[in-house]
Amino acid sequence: MTDRKFFWTVPTDHPAFPGHFPGHAILPGVVILDHVLRCAGELQGGIDACWQVNTAKFFSPVGPGEALTFSLQPRPSGRIAFAVRAGTRDVALGNLAAYA
């Protein structure tokens, strides 16, 4: 199965930045995962399925204005593998499973 790519530029005024962290804004991992889940919904044709994050590993922080690429790959098992990159930098990897 082939990867499906989604793109998102993190808004410089994202509401998570003021408190995370003052003077050195870093996008919280939960915001990245939320966007992964939105991409999974689009991948499934807009179906509002419930997904469970089975694994997630974060490698590099994301700041305001960064352009992210979300690569999602459906697996035969029904899971979805994901990778998030900022340019050539790995940001996060993991997989999702349908919530039972």
For residues 10 and 67, what is the distance between their CA atoms, to the nearest angstrom? 6
- Residue 14 makes CB contacts below 8 A (sequence gap 6+) with 27, 31, 64
Q: Out of 14, 20, 24, 35, which one is annotated catalytic?
A: 20
For the chain, what's the residue count? Answer: 100
For residues 33 and 73, what is the distance between their CA atoms, to the nearest angstrom? 15
14 counts as catalytic:
no
What one-letter code names the amino acid at 26?
I
Q: Which residues are catalytic?
A: 20
